[in-house]
Amino acid sequence: SMFKRILFPTDFSAPSMKVLDYIPALQEVGTREVVLVHVIDSKDITLIASGGQGFLGTVSDRETETQRRLREEIEHQIIDARRSLEKRGLKVTVRTPVGNPEKEILSAADAEEASLIVIGSHGRSNIRDRLLGSVSEYVIKNARQPVLVIKRDTAGAK
């Protein structure tokens, strides 16, 4: 199935997590595996960890309190998202590359041989959510895979 292995890039903002609501529908059309991608923007890396690629593994001794909190928060969000997907019987792979979000999403899609990229879209008031603005536009234009854009609810949305 064209939908068997999907790539789900997320920054954990509400619009990006809307993708989860569509998982049952995607399973009906053959989705069995989800590759969850959370890119750690290298521009923000000083905020996060001196550990570089070892972000979720080895952590440098010099990690500050702020870095530690941020890292733990991301780890919890990843665990929660992974659990909710696994509960639905999906096989989940997690990737947390460090770099430029647009390029890392595309290279993860290629490396993981995703058949489809499923991405949340920003609404006007969410224009500041980087992943859901310029990043989703870049992905739509440049991905080799088909891209399914999940529109956020406009009704009653903040």
Task: Give the pLDDT score at 41.
Answer: 80
Whether 100 maps to a domain, the answer reads: yes
Whether 156 maps to a domain, the answer reads: no
Whether 136 maps to a domain, the answer reads: yes
CATH of the domain at 106: 3.40.50.620
Whether 103 maps to a domain, the answer reads: yes
Nearest-angstrom CA–CA distance, 120 and 151? 6
Whether 157 maps to a domain, the answer reads: no
- Residue 158 pLDDT exceeds 50: no
Tokens at 25, concatenated: 């529908």
- Residue 89 pLDDT exceeds 90: yes
Q: CA geometry: angle at 148 spanning 37 and 137, to 5°?
A: 75
pLDDT (tens digit, 9 = 90+) per residue, 127-143? 555 555 678 888 999 99
Task: Give the pLDDT score at 62.
Answer: 62
Q: Which domain range does residue 48 map to? A: 5-150
Nearest-angstrom CA–CA distance, 41 and 118? 20
Nearest-angstrom CA–CA distance, 120 and 10? 8
Of the chain, the end-to-end C-alpha distance in Å amounts to: 36
Report the domain count for the chain: 1
Whether 85 maps to a domain, the answer reads: yes
Whether 110 maps to a domain, the answer reads: yes
Model confidence at 110, pLDDT cuts 50, 70, 90, reads: very high
Whether 158 maps to a domain, the answer reads: no
Task: Give the pLDDT score at 122.
Answer: 64
- Angle between helical axes of 134-142 and 101-111 (0-180°, round to 10): 40
For the chain, state the CA radius of gyration: 15
Lowest mean pLDDT of 17-21, 26-30, 51-55, 152-156, name the range.
51-55
Q: Bridge-partner residues for 6, per DSSP?
A: 34, 116
Lowest mean pLDDT of 9-13, 92-96, 111-115, name the range.
9-13
Considering 4-18, 36-50, 53-67, the range whose residues carry the highest mean pLDDT is 4-18
